[in-house]
Amino acid sequence: MFMAPEFWVAVGQIIMIDILLGGDNAVVIALACRKLPAHQRTKGILWGTAGAIILRVILIFFALTLLAIPFLKLVGAILLVWIGMKLLAPEHDDAHGNISGSDKLWGAVKTVIIADLVMSVDNVIAIAGAAQGAGEGHQMPLVIFGLLVSIPIIVWGSQLVIKLMDKFPMIITLGGMLLGWIAGTMAMSDPALANTAAWTWVPKVPQTDVVKYGAGIAGALLVLALGKWAAARNARNKPATAVAAD
């Protein structure tokens, strides 16, 4: 399994997805654990992160199973395009204003897990889509491996990652296009489009590398175009919003 190129490509995609879409995790952990006594903060961070990751693996397992149902990959691809567009043109809001800290260890851990559950829909869809490219036998092992590798990056390296993204915005652009790539390749492998023996009323797509990579490129370019359009729209609306707020 570890010798397969597809495995390492998918692991790299999962790590990048977690870095790009999991930046809020570190903020949630910090907010939830800020009222803990100093000697309990490390425990709160570790237990909260472990619980959130285990819950995410369970969610991804169900997502991988559901993606075998016809048309759900198409829906997932549309969601990934939307997530990629939002990544390239984020709307400014205070998403963490309702996250309260707790002075009890398990209260803080519960807050981390619940908040991560609410915020992890985009991660789950994107990671499940990335895992599809590694073959049936590799999907869950690479999901777990990719998440384990990304944990220290998210928890302890989040500030460095944020600074790199600020300094090199191209990282975010490439990340958004990666989501578009995954969306395109995932859509083409939907059972309704790939299974010639079933759903005969649905036009079929040849399952060749040319079609797969072509769909991936189209998805990446679509996210880039939509992201630029949304960013321009947000820029036009920003002055009006600021005046209204005053």
Binned average pLDDT, 10 residues per bin, the chain of 246 residues: 69 78 65 73 77 79 80 87 83 52 70 68 76 65 74 64 74 86 88 81 86 92 93 77 48
The model scores a pTM over 0.75: no
Residue given tokens 């990629």 in the structure block: 84
What secondary structure letter does DSSP report for 93?
A: -
pLDDT for 168: 82
Q: 205: Cβ–Cβ under 8 A, 6 or more apart, which residues? A: 188, 193, 194, 211
| 8 Å CB contact between 31 and 99 | yes
Closest residue by Cα to residue 133 from 20, 18, 224, 215:
215
Distance between CA 19 and CA 149 in Å, rounded?
Answer: 11
pLDDT for 119: 63
Residue 107: domain span:
5-245
From start to end of the chain, where are the E strands? none
Q: How many domains does the chain have?
A: 1
- Sign of the four-CA dihedral 30, 31, 32, 33: positive
Q: 40: Cβ–Cβ under 8 A, 6 or more apart, which residues? A: 105
pLDDT for 220: 94
pLDDT for 223: 93
